[in-house]
């Protein structure tokens, strides 16, 4: 039987609607809109696309977007000075510095400069630490979005076997932490994992965050497993195509015959990332303003 297609795009649209409605409530109470500052350094085409879509989504969610574009040759000190200005700006609730940064800039130093209460990407070590010890803080948008899709489909994850493939700071590790907090039994796999197909085969939940096109095969999956595909990979164009197709880290077509449910690429995890960024910005706005976000509003 074919797997259920987990429609991240529709879920994200509903979340964005709720965030927009609550942002309007916030503006009424605070006398200002929530604000998200996005900093883009250089001309990386993919980053430009992301920044443009974040800007548009911010406005649609009844928030202010502040875009700062800096030359690729900008010095680290100048970038840090901008972050400092944004930290002190009461109109800015969230600060996002689009990664990757040019190689002459120390990414970790820039992330560390963002005030943890405005770190809506959840990359600051303070927020990573809060997640690790179970304190409230900002959780990276992509894994939090994956978690929302998983709990929406499965409800209680207690005791389920989860395998996360990938151990990056922005996806794999926080994903594993969230699953652990939800009482799943978690394995983190990576490039040195032995017998990866066997490891994946025991999972009720598979999260693939690798960056290798269609690496996870149908016969790696336990029948009925729930599969969340974070990967975004562009294949080389075949004849007649100007650009290659976008695929995930999972061989979607074949995997759909075995899995119980699966996220497509595109239209799965990708749209959740921006929706959760808006959610995190709204949460930051309430905190920064000293207001209480009503229970269950999002």
- 286 three-state secondary structure: helix
Q: Name which position in 56, 104, 190, 234 contacts ligand NDP (CB under 6 A).
A: 190
- Minimal CA–CA distance to 24: which of 297, 223, 226? 297
Q: Which stretch binds ligand NDP (CB under 6 A): 13-21, 67-75, 169-177, 255-263?
A: 169-177
* Residue from 93, 117, 119, 121 carrying the catalytic annotation: 121
248/232 Cα distance (integer angstroms): 5
* Residues 151, 133: Cα–Cα separation, whole Å: 21
Identify whether 33 is a catalytic site residue.
Answer: no
Q: What angle do CA 160, 165, 166 make, to 5 degrees?
A: 135
Distances (CA, A) of 161 to 176, 225, 296: 11, 10, 28
Q: Which of 166, 214, 258, 286 binds ligand NDP (CB under 6 A)?
A: 166
Q: Is 232 in the site for ligand NDP (CB under 6 A)?
A: yes
Can residue 231 be called a binding residue for ligand NDP (CB under 6 A)? yes
Q: How far is CA 64 from the centre of its chain?
A: 20
Is 54 catalytic? The answer is yes
- Catalytic residue, candidates 22, 33, 54, 229: 54
Q: Which residue is at the shortest CB distance from ligand NDP?
A: 168
Query: Which of the following is catalytic: 33, 98, 173, 222?
Result: 98
Task: Enumerate the active-site residues.
Answer: 54, 98, 121
Contact set with ligand NDP (CB under 6 A): 142, 165-168, 170-172, 189-193, 196, 209-212, 230-233, 269-270, 273
């Amino acid at each position: 039987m074919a797997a259920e297609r987990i429609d991240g795009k529709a879920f994200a649209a509903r979340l964005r609607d709720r965030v927009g409605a609550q942002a309007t409530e916030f503006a009424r109470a605070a006398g200002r809109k929530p604000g998200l500052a996005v900093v883009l350094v250089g001309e990386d085409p993919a980053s430009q696309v992301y920044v443009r879509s974040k800007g548009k989504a911010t406005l649609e969610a009844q928030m202010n977007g502040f875009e700062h574009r800096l030359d690729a040759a900008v010095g680290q000190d100048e970038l840090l000075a901008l972050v400092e200005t944004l930290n002190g700006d009461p109109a800015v609730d969230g600060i996002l510095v689009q990664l990757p940064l040019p190689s002459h800039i120390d990414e970790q130093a820039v992330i560390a400069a963002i005030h943890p209460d405005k770190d809506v990407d959840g990359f600051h070590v303070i927020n990573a630490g809060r997640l690790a010890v179970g304190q409230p803080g900002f959780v990276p948008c992509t894994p939090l979005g994956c978690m929302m899709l998983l709990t929406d489909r499965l409800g209680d994850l207690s005791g389920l076997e989860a395998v996360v493939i990938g151990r990056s700071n922005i996806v794999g590790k926080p994903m594993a932490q969230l699953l652990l907090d939800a009482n799943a039994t978690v394995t983190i796999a990576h490039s040195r994992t032995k017998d990866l197909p066997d490891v994946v085969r025991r999972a009720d939940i598979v999260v693939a965050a690798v960056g290798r096109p269609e690496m996870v095969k149908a016969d790696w999956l336990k029948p009925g497993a729930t599969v969340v595909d974070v990967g975004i990979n562009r294949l080389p164009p075949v004849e007649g195509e100007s650009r290659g197709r976008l695929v995930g880290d999972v061989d979607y077509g074949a995997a759909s015959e075995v899995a119980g449910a699966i996220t497509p690429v595109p239209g799965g995890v990708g749209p959740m990332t921006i929706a959760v960024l808006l959610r995190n910005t709204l949460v930051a706005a309430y905190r920064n303003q000293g207001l209480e976000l009503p229970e269950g509003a999002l």
